[in-house]
Structure 1
Amino acid sequence: MQNQFTNDGEDHIDRTTSAAICNAIGERLRRDIGPDDDALPSHLQMLMDQMRQQDDSTRSR
């Protein structure tokens, strides 16, 4: 089966430019959403804490 999508005639961007665009979008989202929305739901925060504990115990071995 042939790919129906082609990039013929489209401009391409390099990895550095792509990363810069992603970073700019992330910064804009952080600014627009604000710091109040940084908190995770309690269950997800508990899971993240458990993962950190497991990582710490694995590194200390």
Structure 2
Amino acid sequence: MSGRTAVLSEALDRKTSRSICEAVGERLQRSLPPDGSQLPDPLAQLMNELRKQDEAVARFD
């Protein structure tokens, strides 16, 4: 990272960063179709991976 991005990322604690990620995720869920059937296959696979990672992280929080 460089410049302003590095300064901002250093200023965010874990709780704040998690809250931002959750808010972004909620917005994405509202803007994407409810099922993955309309997504191109590569994007559907990526979404599945993100769900798996979210579930894994949620278990540790």
User: TM class by shorter-chain length?
Assistant: 0.3 to 0.5
Whose relative contact order is higher, 1 or 2, with alpha carbons under 8 Å and at least 6 apart? 2
Higher helix share: 2
